[in-house]
Amino acid sequence: MAQLTTSQAAQRLGISTVRVQKLIQAGRLEAVKYGRDWLIQEQALEAVAVRKPGRPVGYSPGRKAG
C-alpha cells in the first residue's frame, strides 16, 4: 500500500494542502503522524474524493441553526 504526503494527496484530490490538513483534523481523512509529516494511505483518499462541489444545501453563513 502506498502512503502519500499531504502535498501528494492534495495534488491527487485537486485541493490545497491546507484543505487536506483540515480534513485530517476534522477526522474526515485518515492519516498517521510521522515526525512532522502526515502520511495518508492511498485508499483513504476515496473517502473524500467523491464529493459534490460547493456548500451543502440549506447552508447560509451567519444563519443560526435551531
pLDDT tens track for 3-54? 999 999 999 999 999 999 999 999 999 999 999 999 999 999 988 877 666 6
Domain holding 12, by residue range, is: 3-49
Is 65 contained in some domain?
no
Q: How many CB atoms lie within 10 A of CB 48?
A: 19
Amino acid 18: pLDDT: 94
pLDDT band at 2 (very low <50, low <70, confident <90, very high): confident
More confident residue, 6 or 64: 6
Tally of structural domains, the chain: 1
Is 25 contained in some domain?
yes
pTM above 0.85, yes or no: no
Instruction: Please state whether 54 falls in left (phi above 0), alpha (psi between -120 and 50) or beta.
Output: left
Amino acid 51: pLDDT: 64
Q: How many CB atoms lie within 10 A of CB 33?
A: 9
